[in-house]
């Protein structure tokens, strides 16, 4: 069983400006991260380059 974790992520471009629609996958292990299809959740940045909430990819695992 997994515990719920809140993650704040920020993506910027090479000039330090916010980068919209960057997608970060959250995985339960380094091995799992090798397969993008098994992400526990995905975080997508907004216009400010920040993402604080993600959508669960597999709700039965969380």
Residues 6+ apart with CB under 8 A from 24: 7, 9, 11, 42, 43, 44, 45, 51, 54
pLDDT tens profile 14-56: 999 999 999 998 888 999 999 888 888 888 999 999 987 666 6
Give the domain ranges of the chain. Answer: 9-61
Neighbours of 32 (CB within 10 A): 15
Give the residue, 3 or 61, on which the prediction is more confident.
3
């Amino acid at each position: 069983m997994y515990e719920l974790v809140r993650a704040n992520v920020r993506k910027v471009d090479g000039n330090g400006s916010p980068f919209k629609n960057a997608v970060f996958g959250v995985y339960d292990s380094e091995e799992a991260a090798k397969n993008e299809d098994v992400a526990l959740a995905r975080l997508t940045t907004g216009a400010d380059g920040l993402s604080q909430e993600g959508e669960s990819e597999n709700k039965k695992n969380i």
